[in-house]
Amino acid sequence: MDSGKERRESVYGRAIREARQAMGLTQGELAERLKVPKNYVSNWERGWSRPDLDMVPRLCRVLHLPLDEFFGCGEDRSLEELAWLRVLRQMEAEDRILIREMAETLLERAEKRKEEYVRTHFRTCFRSSLSGAAGVSVPLGATEGEEVPVRLGEVSRHADEIVRVSGDSMEPMYHDGQEVFIEHTEHLKPGEIGLFVVNGEGYIKQWMGTFLRSLNPARPDVHLVESDDVRLAGRVLGSVRPGDYPDEEEVRWLRGLTLTWKKG
């Protein structure tokens, strides 16, 4: 969560940062072209301050950024937006500044509501880039992957990792290419399905005490011998459903927020 001193990245800060990066400029190089201290650019992009109105045209020229894009507007304006423009143009400069400040306050409140929604509805979970085989063994690495947002639920809140199923030996419960939630644990009851590493290869199988069972009768079980190096990586909690990931609107909110994530 942002501290009291920090402020959320504004639409202006995002536009400046993206345009600067597209031109391959550092914050210092942009500041030099604008003839302002480097911390000005940094503060704009962080949302700690905003450019003065007389600075905006120069900033847009340097960044080759249309004013519409800087203010987060498309070229096609609605009738309501055009009506607002007419009203603003009839106002005194001091009143336009007051309206802008009020509007930005409302936007900040909306951003806080989005942040609270995201914080109470999502968490991050490590998604492995490698697969747990359900049929054909593949190498399994615990450190290759990325942290992704998932919706908080009865299953996802207990998960430590997301792994993709490879093969069809766990049909009809789990399918090839399907993602599953994994809870890291050192203990598994007979009959539970787990993610196992046998001699460096990853398997999603049913633990039967002395062997790893395939649910699909057409696929062989994994029979263990004393010389095998066997490790239980975790318990399979269930499949990852499409609704467990954020939708398009929620993805846009997540991109605009910097959160300290916690499990569960």
Tell whether 237 and 157 lie within a shared domain.
yes
Per the CB < 8 A criterion, the answer to whether 194 and 233 are in contact is yes
Tell whether 81 and 179 lie within a shared domain.
no
32-63 per-position pLDDT tens digit: 999 999 889 988 888 788 788 778 888 888 98
Is the pLDDT assigned to residue 264 strictly greater than 50? no
195-236 per-position pLDDT tens digit: 998 888 888 999 998 899 999 999 999 999 989 888 898 999
CATH of the domain at 180: 2.10.109.10
181 or 7: which leads in pLDDT: 181
Tell whether 137 and 188 lie within a shared domain.
yes
Tell whether 95 and 135 lie within a shared domain.
no
Least confident of 63-72, 94-103, 201-210: 63-72
Q: Is 70 helix (H, G, I), strand (E, B) or coil?
A: helix
d(CA 208, CA 195): 13
Neighbour count for residue 181 (Cβ, 10 Å): 24
Domain of residue 148, residue span: 123-244
Q: How many residues does the chain have?
A: 264
Give domain status of residue 222, yes or no: yes
Tell whether 211 and 153 lie within a shared domain.
yes
Give domain status of residue 175, yes or no: yes
Give 135's pLDDT tier (boundaries 50, 70, 90).
Answer: very low
pLDDT at position 46 is: 82
